[in-house]
């Protein structure tokens, strides 16, 4: 009987905790402070705002509550307060916790005081109504996914104090059109600006060390980019889906890389690192190149003909994956290493010109499963250094681009989409959800 009574009381407590208007993040000892639409809750022992009622629509947080200074906005303190439109944070607050304002979709008015030095991961994720953000001068790191999904954000000011921008920090900020990264920044994480579809211009830090994977993936409006003097390496995947990006530019002071005809190579010109995704037509890799780096031409749906010169020995993983308009391909007998995924998705290849013998081709193809990546009716021409004349243009060429939208914070599902193009023109976008549970 006692056990049944205890179980009933426990169930009742859980049910009460789930009622609308209850502060889910607040502990029993927290102090309630009234604001518009309900209460916020404050831990006097730590000086932290720990939660709020989901009915809150506006909150002016005082500098002190009960004589105790407010110094932090805790993890998830205002998360999922869907009717919250404005918050005033007092000077003296130094930390904005993880998930602090996540999914506050109506939040439009928010200014961070100069006292803030830390903004934790996903703090403002999916605050879709935020239009501008000035990051305080004391902040040194912008954590991963902090502003991800802030689709209304048109203006961001990043101060000279920031040295690191985390993975996905500004991904899916669809309204951003221009961005300036101060010279204090040395590191930018993967997918930092992925799916900023209206971003046309970016000024990168002159002290940035590398351009990481998918940093600008699916930035459909980006037309040009100058690689700073400090950058030592460029991930080809960084620009997947940048369909208007037809060439790269390089600072003349960069001692680590080189650019020839808008394509990025290492300084010696021996490794081809990144080919502009939006470039159309035929391309011949320059003589002297020995390595085609992994993902170098990934998703280059406008590439129609390619000549790989004698002397190239290594073709990296996914180097030509997704080159769906490629119809003519010249491969030299000097190639000794090809990843099995190098030509994945090259579904339009009609002619392969190989400078070696049939026996050499058979040995290479069987070892790395090359021929199996091309259509069955593709013709392999042996002892040939390329076509005698240009191939006639193919019919309508289709290409595709994958865009990853991150994990849904409520369900854990992976959000993504496939964008389909015909002859470089977008036809449709297919949204997908992968249930990982």
98 vs 241: CA distance, rounded Å:
30
* Domain extent listing, the chain: 280-395, 398-434
| Encoded tokens for 91 | 């000077």
Question: What confidence score (pLDDT) does residue 96 get?
Answer: 98
- Cα 211 to Cα 112: distance, rounded to the nearest angstrom: 29
Distance in angstroms (rounded) separating the CA atoms of residues 274 and 260? 11
Residues 6+ apart with CB under 8 A from 26: 32, 41, 50, 51
Nearest to 241 by CA among 294, 211, 277: 277
290, containing H or E segment: none
Say if strands 38-43 and 263-266 run parallel, antiparallel, or are unpaired: unpaired
Asked if residues 201 and 179 have their Cβ atoms less than 8 Å apart, the reply is: yes
| pTM of the model as a whole | 0.82
Which residues share a beta bridge with 274?
264
Residues in the chain, pLDDT under 50: 1-25, 389-396, 423-425
Q: Which residue shows structure tokens 């100069």? A: 114
Query: String of b and e for 44-72 (b: at least 16 CB within 10 Å)?
Result: eeebbbbbbbbbbeebebeeebeeeebbb
Give the model confidence (pLDDT) of 220-243 as tens digits.
999 989 999 999 999 978 999 999
pLDDT of residue 4: 40
Fold of 280-395: 3.80.10
Other CB atoms within a 10 A radius of the CB of residue 310 amount to 12
Give how far Cα 379 sits from Cα of 96, 130, 298, 327, 375, Å.
61, 55, 23, 11, 9
Q: Could you give the 3-state DSSP secondary structure of residue 97?
A: coil
**Structural tokens at position 346:** 């090259």
**Alpha-carbon distance 86 to 83, whole Å?**
9
At residue 427's C-alpha, the angle toward residues 426 and 430, to 5°, is: 100
pLDDT in tens, 101-153: 999 999 997 999 999 999 999 999 999 999 999 999 999 999 999 999 999 99
Q: What is the helix (H) or strand (E) element at residue 133, kind and residue range? A: strand 132-134
Nearby residues of 204 by Cβ (< 8 Å), 6 or more positions away = 181, 211, 225, 226, 227, 228, 231
Helix boundaries (H) for 283-404: 358-368
172 by Cβ neighbours in 10 Å (0-12 / 13-18 / 19+) ranks as buried
């Amino acid at each position: 009987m006692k056990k049944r009574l205890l179980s009933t009381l426990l169930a009742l407590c859980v049910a009460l905790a789930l009622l609308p208007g209850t502060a889910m993040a607040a502990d029993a000892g927290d102090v309630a402070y009234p604001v518009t639409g309900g209460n916020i809750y404050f831990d006097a022992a730590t000086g932290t705002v720990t939660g709020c009622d989901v009915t809150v629509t506006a909150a002016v947080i005082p500098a002190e509550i009960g004589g105790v200074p407010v110094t932090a906005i805790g993890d998830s303190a205002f998360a999922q307060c869907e009717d919250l439109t404005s918050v005033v944070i007092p000077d003296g607050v130094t930390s904005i916790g993880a998930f602090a304002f996540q999914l506050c979709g109506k939040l439009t008015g928010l200014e961070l005081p100069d006292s803030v030095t830390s903004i934790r991961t996903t703090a403002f994720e999916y605050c879709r109504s935020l239009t501008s953000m000035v990051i305080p001068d004391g902040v040194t790191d912008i954590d991963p996914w902090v502003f991800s999904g802030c689709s209304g954000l048109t203006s961001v000011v990043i101060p000279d104090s920031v040295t690191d921008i985390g993975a996905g920090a500004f991904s899916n900020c669809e309204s951003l059109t221009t961005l300036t990264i101060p010279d204090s920044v040395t590191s930018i994480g993967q997918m930092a600006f992925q799916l900023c579809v209206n971003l046309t211009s970016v000024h990168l830090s002159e002290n940035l060390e590398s351009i990481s994977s998918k940093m600008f993936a699916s930035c459909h409006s980006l037309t040009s980019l100058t690689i700073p003097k400090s950058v030592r390496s460029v991930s080809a995947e960084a620009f997947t889906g940048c369909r208007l990006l037809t060439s790269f530019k390089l600072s003349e002071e960069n001692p680590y890389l080189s650019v020839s005809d808008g394509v990025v190579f290492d300084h010696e010109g021996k490794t081809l690192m990144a080919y502009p995704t939006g470039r159309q037509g035929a391309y011949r890799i320059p003589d002297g190149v020995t390595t085609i780096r992994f993902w170098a031409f990934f998703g280059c749906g406008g590439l129609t003909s390619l000549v790989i010169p004698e002397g190239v020995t290594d073709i990296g993983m996914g180097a030509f994956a997704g080159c769906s308009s490629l119809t003519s391909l010249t491969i030299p007998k000097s190639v000794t290493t090809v990843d099995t995924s190098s030509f994945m998705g090259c579904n339009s290849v009609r002619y392969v010109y190989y400078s070696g013998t049939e026996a050499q081709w058979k040995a290479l193809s069987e070892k790395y499963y090359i021929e199996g990546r091309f259509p069955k009716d593709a013709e392999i021409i042996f002892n040939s250094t390329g076509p005698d004349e240009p191939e006639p243009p193919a019919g309508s060429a289709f290409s595709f681009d994958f865009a990853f939208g991150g994990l849904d914070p409520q369900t854990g599902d992976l959000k993504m989409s496939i964008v389909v193009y015909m002859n470089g023109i977008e036809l449709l976008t297919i949204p997908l959800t992968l249930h990982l549970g």
